[in-house]
Structure 1
Amino acid sequence: MRAHAVRPPGRAALLALAVLLFALALAPASAASAHAVLLGTDPADGAALNEAPATVTLSFNEPVRPIEDGTVLVDGTGTERTLTATTRDDDVIIELPADLGEDRYYVNWRVVSADDHPIAGVLAFTVGDPPAGAAPAPPSEPEDTVPLPLAAATALHYVGLLVFAGLLFFRIVIARGARRGRPRHRLLRAGAAAAITGAALAVPLGALDIAGLPFGRITDTGSWAGLVEPAPLIVLALTAVGVLTAYAAFTRGPRTRVALVAVAAAVAAPVLVGHSMAFGERWLMIAADLVHLATGAIWTGGLAGLLIALRWRASDAAENARIVARFSAWAGYAVAVLGASGLVMALSIHRTWDGLFATDHGRALIVKLALVAVALALAAWNRFRLVPAVADAGARRAGLARLRRILTVEAAVVTAVAVLTGLLVNLSPAVEKPPPAAVLPLGGVTSVHEELGDGGIEAHLTPGLMGENTVMLTLTDAEGLPFQPLEAPTVSAFLPEDDFGPVNAQVHDLELGKYHCVVDLPLAGEWELTVQTRLSEFESVTTTMTVEVG
């Protein structure tokens, strides 16, 4: 079948699309939340009760799904019991055993939000007068978790898919009529293999992440098979069928229309597991994500195809010049729409500066935008300085050589952008665990001093043993005088090695710049004690110290 000439879309149409997407991004957000947030509990965290409650209620700002066997009750002796959790509207109802006596209890819960990110926490309460000295047993040895392998699998899927789809588009549309070569077919096969492998690995790794299980349990299919979500399976099916169908149609036909339709289905697949399904106006996010993926593929795969053409047919300068001119036209429009669609998603996900600068997702997005800016600068240099040189028959060979060198750098930067795009899918815009600032000794009175804006914060914790611990906070300004923040600080504790927490504490004012709270640390290990202080309307500082509890 003969490939038909396809021209790039008109400037007016693309400009209108970019302006429309940007305007819609500035519209008020819908009721869909950026991330599920715990609004309250019944009983309250840290409550002292005369009688044991029949249930515990967790209230969220949107519907969530409890994880099977993901809710555990721990008593003062360390005995664990798995609880049953059900949902009612935006609430999670946890049934407690009927035989709870006077003791200290911790409900360790885990749910999944609408964007398929797991959320966990601990609710502590006491019944009657707990036995003196009661404390849970130490946890088992920590194991590696799966966020990094899951992010790597997703990045592999994205890079392979964008290279495959873009290279196919390059061959059918941009380099139409040019001779085919084995290098391009080898890269097509490599892209297809990477895309399918990444999508396949994301299925078990995603289930392990939801369950909070370590990476070492991936061979224990019984522990995660029941937690596999439908969306990753659909993504795998669309990727495999779309990529294989497109490859067969292109190499054995060539049936170009079938190949383009099949690869379009594969490129659309990642939308099912991205943030598009849970943020802002869903239809707008899905549309922007689809456009973002498609234009990203044209740019990424097109660069790969152009580099292969320039290297494989280096002697055919006239044909290479024609291909460069076609790619330059398509890439210019693709980059404009790519930027507009990316801005739409960024504004829909992060509607405040705090969300952009204070989260792992936001910081990774900033790095991605910086890399895109570098790639855009290289592309602009190619478009306005080197492409005209290539068009000049007298300077064509030298221009192509310089263009090839710049394109190699641009392709490396764009590949890094594609990797970051895959990583962003697995970062929650609302989750951040600050790194520890200091390690405190075991037991006794422990203290640490950290910077707090221009001043400082001093924290004392005692006794540093399992059970209730008292935290005393002192805030000072640049001159060492007591400092009163805009609001009282918040204190929470998290045990990374056992994925236990966060355990929130109720902070009380003592006097100017001084606060205290009591926090339950029920398990032995290195706890991260996080203090968040709001210095002003626009500045919030997070300080984290690590205390070893025995």
Structure 2
Amino acid sequence: MAVMTPRIAAALAAGALAILISPPAPASAHAVLSSSNPIQGAVLASAPAEVVLTFTESVRQVPGKILVLGPDGKRVDKGEPSFAGSVVTIPVDQGGNGTYLVSYRVISADSHPVAGGYTYSVGSPSVAPTLTQNEDTNRVVATAIKVAKYLGYAGLVLVVGPVLVLCLLWPARLSRRRVGAVVWTGMGLVGLATVAAVLLQGPYTAGGGIFDISGGQIRDVLATTFGTAHLVRLGLLLAIALLLRPLLRGPNESGKADQILLLVLGGAALLTWPIAGHPAASPVAAVSVVVDAVHLASMAVWLGGLVMLVGFLLRQANERELGAVLPVWSRWAALAVSSLVLAGTVQALIEVSTPDALVSTTYGRLILAKVGLLALVIAVAWYSRRLVRRRIAADEPHKIRRAVWVELGITAIVLALSAVLVQTTPARTAAANEALGVTTDYYSKEVASNLFKLQVDIDPAGVGNNSIHLYAYDLSGKPLKVVEWKGTAALPANDVAPIEIPLLALTDNHATGELTFSLAGDWQLRFTVRISDIDQATVTATVPVT
């Protein structure tokens, strides 16, 4: 009997085909530019000394991918931009009048690239400069990453389930040689996928082609959480391989202590998947990482067990052995499926966040497709469990074998959807990005005192919740270090007394806050900025709220 039967190969091929026909991942994936100074379309009286970009989550630098072009098309950014969590500060030369282009490509907290750009003008607008380089993610690279992730998931299936069956359910009289070949194939797939992910991450984040891989890129990748997680996975795979050798030789070659250690190392290896992806950047990272690991483990136990059933036990075990094995496996499968559904539900609640995002975003629609396929698989699994309970499976194994083939075929597609999901912007982020992207109304004004200039940006300057960004400069236009920020908002025409605005310093000269305008009207905002122990001044901005 071949190690990989034609039907199993066909199921895996169906999953790979589902990846290849899936929509390409967007270039700007999982974070968005929430504010900037200067803001999009602003016309300034004088050129700024720096450009400040604020994103919705922490970002990291892609070398050489942040620049500012002047009206003549030449770069005016100087030196390296500074990164402080979600805030990026770009020093610029104070050039002449006209329109400037800001272009950026950074890496979001979950290791995906974020690319975009906008323009502002000094004096009066002019023809905007153009950027010759392409900031889109290379489609071949994006597809290769999805395929690598799929192979990694398939490898997990061929390792976790078979090893568990060998430890606890495998009849002693049956040979382990062919099962060992399946397990080593799975280990190879996981290792190959891990190495491929590290190699492809460089061109993926930089926007290069599949052969644009350099030693510097690999070093940069390995210095990140993403790279560290993959390095740890490779080390754990090596340790697991050493423990697998005696287990695959025979039932008496591996002791209980080795099997317990194998379980611990396997659990640690599973955690490297969520640590390197979306869960690590979710609002509740610790919960998301654990839930995602449980989801992976349940999937691998269930599908790996099905592979063992259809590929080996239903072909080689006799009726007495099947009568002992199938009821136990049926309970395992029920537990694995329950854990899979529970973990998937928790994941969806965290990543989707709203019912509308479930149907209005690509991520949400992929979740719905995955749920539909899982419901179909669970129905087939329920039929299989009925056969086991009625002991038909042991007497007529061909019936349950057909049901298992159906399960494997559908779940190969589910694995492909999972590989696409981890490259797709989470619905919670996509919905927030859309809300940020459609905003057209805002307030932006520079107010001055005898000590400083203060740029006040309020988005959307309407009734309801608003985001405030304050940028302090000295009288010559250079960034000014602020010791303390204070702010109040009042609506005198409607007898609304001053309300304190909570302000949080993001950098030395940049603070942000949230404010709810309860009524339309001309709101009076007062900001007191202290720049030393004794030097402070207060400025006022009148904000028309509609």
- Which residue does 1:60 correspond to in 2? 55
- Which residue does 2:447 correspond to in 1? none
Alpha-carbon spacing, 1:244–1:396, altered in 2? closer, same or farther (3 Å): closer
Matches within 5 A, 1:382-393: 382-384=384-386, 386-389=387-390, 391=391
Give the conservation status (yes or no) of the 8 Å contact 2:161–2:304: yes
3-state DSSP class of the match of 1:217? coil
3-state DSSP class of the match of 1:125? strand
Counterparts of 2:60 and 2:131 in 1: how far apart (Å)? 29
Q: 1:245 aligns with which of 209, 233, 242?
A: 242
Alpha-carbon spacing, 1:206–1:411, altered in 2? closer, same or farther (3 Å): same
Matched, 1:276 2:273: no
Counterparts of 1:420 and 1:141 in 2: how far apart (Å)? 26
Residue 376 of structure 1: how far off its partner (Å): 0.5
Residue 303 of structure 1: how far off its partner (Å): 0.6
Alpha-carbon spacing, 1:342–1:311, altered in 2? closer, same or farther (3 Å): same
Residue 348 of structure 1: how far off its partner (Å): 0.9
Give the conservation status (yes or no) of the 8 Å contact 1:246–1:259: yes
Residue 268 of structure 1: how far off its partner (Å): 2.6
Matched, 1:221 2:215: yes
CA deviation vs aligned residue, 1:182-205 (integer Å, no higher than 9, x gap):
321121111111111001100121
- Which residue does 1:421 correspond to in 2? 418
Amino acid across the alignment from 1:410 = E
Residue 345 of structure 1: how far off its partner (Å): 0.8
3-state DSSP class of the match of 1:185? helix
Q: 1:324 aligns with which of 326, 335, 344?
A: 326
Counterparts of 1:65 and 1:141 in 2: how far apart (Å)? 16
Amino acid across the alignment from 2:209 = P
CA deviation vs aligned residue, 1:415-444 (integer Å, no higher than 9, x gap):
3222322332222215769xxxxxxxxxxx
Alpha-carbon spacing, 1:489–1:365, altered in 2? closer, same or farther (3 Å): closer
Residue 247 of structure 1: how far off its partner (Å): 2.3
Alpha-carbon spacing, 1:490–1:216, altered in 2? closer, same or farther (3 Å): farther
Matched, 1:259 2:254: no
Matched, 1:295 2:263: no
- Which residue does 2:89 correspond to in 1? 93
TM-score by length of 1: 0.66
Residue 236 of structure 1: how far off its partner (Å): 4.1
Residue 138 of structure 1: how far off its partner (Å): 5.3
Alpha-carbon spacing, 1:201–1:352, altered in 2? closer, same or farther (3 Å): same
Alpha-carbon spacing, 1:80–1:140, altered in 2? closer, same or farther (3 Å): farther
Matched, 1:403 2:400: yes
Matched, 1:196 2:200: no
Give the conservation status (yes or no) of the 8 Å contact 2:198–2:221: no
Give the conservation status (yes or no) of the 8 Å contact 2:279–2:288: yes
Alpha-carbon spacing, 1:334–1:87, altered in 2? closer, same or farther (3 Å): same
3-state DSSP class of the match of 2:47? coil
Matched, 1:307 2:310: yes
Counterparts of 2:191 and 2:436 in 1: how far apart (Å)? 50
Give the conservation status (yes or no) of the 8 Å contact 2:271–2:289: no
Give the conservation status (yes or no) of the 8 Å contact 1:166–1:300: yes
Q: Name structure 2 gaps, 5 residues minimum.
A: 1-28, 441-458, 461-546
Q: 1:285 aligns with which of 281, 288, 293?
A: 288
Counterparts of 2:63 and 2:152 in 1: how far apart (Å)? 28
Give the conservation status (yes or no) of the 8 Å contact 1:162–1:300: yes
Matches within 5 A, 1:44-55: 44-55=39-50
Counterparts of 2:102 and 2:68 in 1: how far apart (Å)? 5
Alpha-carbon spacing, 1:488–1:118, altered in 2? closer, same or farther (3 Å): closer
Q: Which moved more, 1:335-344 or 1:63-72?
A: 63-72
Counterparts of 2:187 and 2:413 in 1: how far apart (Å)? 18
Residue 94 of structure 1: how far off its partner (Å): 1.1
Counterparts of 1:487 and 1:308 in 2: how far apart (Å)? 51
Residue 109 of structure 1: how far off its partner (Å): 1.1
Give the conservation status (yes or no) of the 8 Å contact 2:226–2:275: yes
TM-score by length of 2: 0.66
CA deviation vs aligned residue, 1:343-391 (integer Å, no higher than 9, x gap):
011101111123222222222222211121111011001001x2134x2
- Which residue does 1:165 correspond to in 2? 160
Amino acid across the alignment from 1:39 = S
Counterparts of 2:348 and 2:40 in 1: how far apart (Å)? 34
Give the conservation status (yes or no) of the 8 Å contact 2:115–2:135: no
Counterparts of 2:436 and 2:136 in 1: how far apart (Å)? 36
Matched, 1:148 2:143: yes
Counterparts of 1:487 and 1:180 in 2: how far apart (Å)? 60
Counterparts of 1:123 and 1:291 in 2: how far apart (Å)? 42
Counterparts of 1:192 and 1:405 in 2: how far apart (Å)? 27
Give the conservation status (yes or no) of the 8 Å contact 2:69–2:129: no
Counterparts of 1:339 and 1:92 in 2: how far apart (Å)? 40
Amino acid across the alignment from 2:254 = P
Amino acid across the alignment from 2:358 = L
% identical equivalent positions? 28
CA deviation vs aligned residue, 1:317-366 (integer Å, no higher than 9, x gap):
22123221211111111111111111011101111123222222222222
3-state DSSP class of the match of 1:179? coil
Residue 242 of structure 1: how far off its partner (Å): 4.6
Residue 82 of structure 1: how far off its partner (Å): 6.1
Amino acid across the alignment from 2:241 = L
Alpha-carbon spacing, 1:144–1:271, altered in 2? closer, same or farther (3 Å): closer
Give the conservation status (yes or no) of the 8 Å contact 1:268–1:293: no
Amino acid across the alignment from 2:271 = A
Counterparts of 2:117 and 2:360 in 1: how far apart (Å)? 23
Give the conservation status (yes or no) of the 8 Å contact 2:229–2:276: no
Amino acid across the alignment from 1:116 = S
Matches within 5 A, 1:9-28: none
Matches within 5 A, 1:476-487: none
Alpha-carbon spacing, 1:343–1:216, altered in 2? closer, same or farther (3 Å): same
Matched, 1:353 2:355: yes
Matched, 1:340 2:342: yes
Q: Name structure 1 gaps, 5 residues minimum.
A: 1-33, 434-485, 492-505, 508-550
Give the conservation status (yes or no) of the 8 Å contact 2:77–2:91: no
Matched, 1:111 2:106: yes
Matched, 1:381 2:383: yes
Higher relative contact order (CA 8 A, sep 6+): 1
Give the conservation status (yes or no) of the 8 Å contact 2:49–2:92: yes
Counterparts of 1:317 and 1:487 in 2: how far apart (Å)? 63
Residue 89 of structure 1: how far off its partner (Å): 5.2
Amino acid across the alignment from 1:188 = V
Matched, 1:180 2:175: yes
3-state DSSP class of the match of 1:93? strand
Alpha-carbon spacing, 1:266–1:142, altered in 2? closer, same or farther (3 Å): closer
